[in-house]
Chain A
Amino acid sequence: MRRYSAVLMVLMLVLGIFVLASAKKVITLQSGYPEIAEAVYKVAAADFEKEHPDVTVKVVYYNLRDHEQKLAMEFAAGTPPDVVETSTYFIAKFLAAGMLQEAPPDIVQYIEKSVMPYAAQFYKYDGKIYGMPYFIGIIALYYNKDMFAAEGLNPDRPPRTWEELIGFACRLAKYENGRLVRSGISLRLSGGGSGVAEKWWPFLIQAGGTILEKTPDGKYHAGFYNQAGFDALNLYIKLLYLYKVDGYEIKHDAEAFALEQTAMFERGAWVTGYLKTHNPNIHYGIALLPKYKQRGTISANFGFYVPRKAENPELAWDFIRFLQRPKYQLLMLEKSGWIPVRMDVDYSSILKETPQLATFFQTPKDYIVESYTGISPENEIMTKLADYLVKAYRRSDLLDNPDGIWKVLEEAAAEVNGILKREGLYGE
């Protein structure tokens, strides 16, 4: 009896070892962009699994807010996913905390050779490269060509200056029984989080300002309590209460554009993917943002990172390498509309199909493209600034009220500078 038990135990042990040895390795990629996760990462995961039968790639995704919240908790708990897809500004804090792996030498070489230099600069920290740049979001102007034509405007001649933007918006705004039913331009006026400040930022750049101005000592202060900030806020107030080309009772953003309830709005390239599914028949163009004192916009940069505590870091980097194949870059541009940062891929077939996307690939030299600084309280700064802007946009009394506008900017700048001081990042 005892002998049988011993044999049984040995058999179970061998079986256990066999099961453990044959178990598939699992890597997890976590994304905050469902449209990319579905169209690209899942396809790539299936292909990768075919080439690596001993590996399972789990692609999980959430809406952006939930994704970032989960990542924060996962990093804090020491259980991050193997591959993190996120923006360079969100990851900055984790980078500073030493929670990410340096990119392997072959990936560093690849980045130097094949990735847009503009995008690559955001992955450097202390002279080393962390992560792999993958896609970029640049804000541009979307406009409805049919509406332009119907209002006697040249559909191939989008507004190039603020003056034209105002004039075109006035012609394109539509009223029924005194009620705005189509906005001339859809501005980001509401919502929680930092989105409102982010969408105001390009206008601020065009007026010659910025959100956070770098000081000679490498620190920052609010860059909008000046004439540029005044002009950018004043533009919104005038569009809302003088020209009345946008309002609170109608839809906004990409949804309004897809529903043809707005003639123009500013957003990133992902809207092209959104329009393919929500209104494939819409006749639209995409243009660089108009000029005031200068031309410019903002970009957000996204890539992959491997946490130090990733369970399978080698495989994680392998999957990231796999994702660089042209097939997935093309898929991303085609299906989601996000702009891949790999330069040595021929995107002409997609640009032929969606010619509007070409705007995102041709930024002139004098066109300023700003991005997040990557300092740790940036999200808090943007969110708090957004609160001031949301409140200001509701105030019709700010029309022809320069003192009122200056006061809003002064208070917002004081709050921003206060946060910078608290974090030891304030510079004169």
Chain B
Amino acid sequence: MEMRALKYISLGKAQRFFFIASVVLLLYSLFGILRLYPIFQMFRLSFYDFDLIGLKKEFIGLRNYLDLFHDTNFHIALRNTLLVVAISVPVTVGLSFVLALFYNARLRLRSFYQLIYFIPAIMPTAAVSLIWRWMYDPGYGLLNYILSWFGIGPVPWLVNEHIALYSVVLLWVWKWVGYYAILFLVGLQNIPEMYKDAAKVDGANWWQLLHYVILPLLKPVTLFILIIASTWAFRIFVPVYILTLGSQGAPGNAVRVIVYDMYENFFVFFRVGYASAEGFILFLIVAAFTFAQLRLTRASEVEGGV
């Protein structure tokens, strides 16, 4: 009887092992095919002078990378992308945190506000961009209409090269602030009340409660938000694409970001190898950025002991 039971258990284990192994293998295979293989291909193609329709495919070593160093458009795209990340990430994360504190307070119509702020996040970016294109319209746009109440003349939101990029950033912040606020709210609601109560008993004011209790406990959520916010900001494309369409669109170079430049090289100029080199540089930047964020947070965790 005992022997039969053991045999049954060991057979079960083998089945479980087989099941787990096949599932893990499937997942890793999918990950490999869908994620790693394209990255590998992008890296490989970046060493070729490769035309999309196959007119030429010549191995040129590092020439694409060397050309990128001298490519003004790439420099503009890199600078603009870094600017988008540097402005949009802190602003979006900061605003969303404030919004989350507001959601967390027991106010009337809280759910309604949550829904309102969350809607842009679930709307397709193309639709959001088209709405903002109308809002930025020099003649009939909502923003210029509001400004006219204060006697301010029409602002060329998109066609002025000094403003255009900030117009893109404004759209991006508006789109994502509600989403990150919900993530922060989840983090806030997971903080046990007893910590806050204990701090209050110790005489902590609101600011001290925020600084010493809430923010340290929100660190994992904040890190997650920072990583996805910066990764998405690095990959910004659709708003730039839509806002540059047509004669009323933004000047290409004023809002040129890396993915837009890649798109242009790949789909418009058919320079697949060159676009791949750009893509690989973007991949390295985002990976380095994410790694740095993780390291910084870990270091502060060790320092702060949280």
Which of A143-151, A165-173, A375-383 touches B? A375-383
Docked complex: B253-277 residues within 8 A CB-CB of A: 253, 264, 267-271
Task: State whether the Cβ of B191 lies closer than 8 Å to any Cβ in chain A.
Answer: no
Task: State whether the Cβ of A94 lies closer than 8 Å to any Cβ in chain B.
Answer: yes
Task: State whether the Cβ of A226 lies closer than 8 Å to any Cβ in chain B.
Answer: no
* Chain A residues proximal to chain B, CB less than 8 Å: 63, 65, 68-69, 72-73, 75-76, 93-94, 96-97, 99, 179, 188-193, 195, 248-253, 255, 259, 261, 376-377, 379-380, 383-384, 386-387, 390-391, 394
Complex Cα gap A65–B242 (Å): 11
User: Other than the known A195-B246, A250-B138, A377-B269, what 11 A-B pairs have Cβ atoms closer than 8 Å?
Assistant: A65-B245, A69-B268, A179-B154, A189-B159, A189-B247, A191-B245, A192-B252, A255-B248, A376-B55, A379-B268, A394-B251
Task: State whether the Cβ of B250 lies closer than 8 Å to any Cβ in chain A.
Answer: yes
By a CB distance below 8 angstroms, the chain B residues around A192 are 241, 244-245, 249-252
Task: State whether the Cβ of B169 lies closer than 8 Å to any Cβ in chain A.
Answer: no
Name A191's contact: one of B53, B156, B248, B268 (CB within 8 Å).
B248
Q: Give the interface size class of chain B.
A: 20 to 34
Contact A261-B139, Cβ < 8 Å, known A99-B53, A248-B156, A387-B253: yes
By a CB distance below 8 angstroms, the chain A residues around B203 are none
Contact A251-B55, Cβ < 8 Å, known A190-B250, A380-B268, A390-B251: no
Task: State whether the Cβ of B54 lies closer than 8 Å to any Cβ in chain A.
Answer: yes
**A-contact 0/1 string along B137-166, CB 8 Å cutoff:** 111000000000000011110111100000
Contact A72-B53, Cβ < 8 Å, known A248-B156, A251-B139, A377-B269: yes
Q: Are A76 and B54 in contact (CB under 8 A)?
A: yes
By a CB distance below 8 angstroms, the chain B residues around A248 are 138, 156, 159-160
Task: State whether the Cβ of B290 lies closer than 8 Å to any Cβ in chain A.
Answer: no
Task: State whether the Cβ of B73 lies closer than 8 Å to any Cβ in chain A.
Answer: yes
Task: State whether the Cβ of B221 lies closer than 8 Å to any Cβ in chain A.
Answer: no
Task: State whether the Cβ of B52 lies closer than 8 Å to any Cβ in chain A.
Answer: yes
By a CB distance below 8 angstroms, the chain A residues around B271 are 380
Q: Are A253 and B246 in contact (CB under 8 A)?
A: yes
Which of A188, A189, A191, A195 is most buried by chain B, counting CB atoms within 10 A of its CB? Answer: A191
Contact A249-B153, Cβ < 8 Å, known A190-B250, A191-B249, A379-B269: yes
Identify the closest chain A residue to B240 (Cβ).
A192
By a CB distance below 8 angstroms, the chain A residues around B73 are 384, 387
Complex Cα gap A379–B158 (Å): 23
Name A93's contact: one of B244, B250, B270 (CB within 8 Å).
B270
Complex Cα gap A90–B43 (Å): 28
Q: Are A76 and B53 in contact (CB under 8 A)?
A: yes
Complex Cα gap A380–B248 (Å): 21
By a CB distance below 8 angstroms, the chain A residues around B253 are 387, 390-391
Q: Are A97 and B54 in contact (CB under 8 A)?
A: yes
Q: Provide a sorted-by-A list of 11 A–B residue pairs whose CB atoms are within 8 angstroms.
A: A76-B52, A93-B270, A94-B53, A192-B241, A192-B244, A195-B246, A252-B248, A376-B55, A380-B268, A383-B264, A390-B251
Q: Are A190 and B251 in contact (CB under 8 A)?
A: yes
**A-contact 0/1 string along B116-140, CB 8 Å cutoff:** 0000000000000000000001110
By a CB distance below 8 angstroms, the chain A residues around B245 are 63, 65, 191-192
Identify the closest chain B residue to A411 (Cβ).
B72
B63 → A minimal CB distance (Å): 10
A396 → B minimal CB distance (Å): 13
Q: Are A190 and B248 in contact (CB under 8 A)?
A: yes
Contact A250-B269, Cβ < 8 Å, known A93-B53, A191-B249: no
By a CB distance below 8 angstroms, the chain A residues around B138 are 248-251
Complex Cα gap A255–B241 (Å): 20
Interface pairs A-B: 5 shortest CB-CB: A192-B244, A192-B252, A253-B247, A191-B249, A190-B159
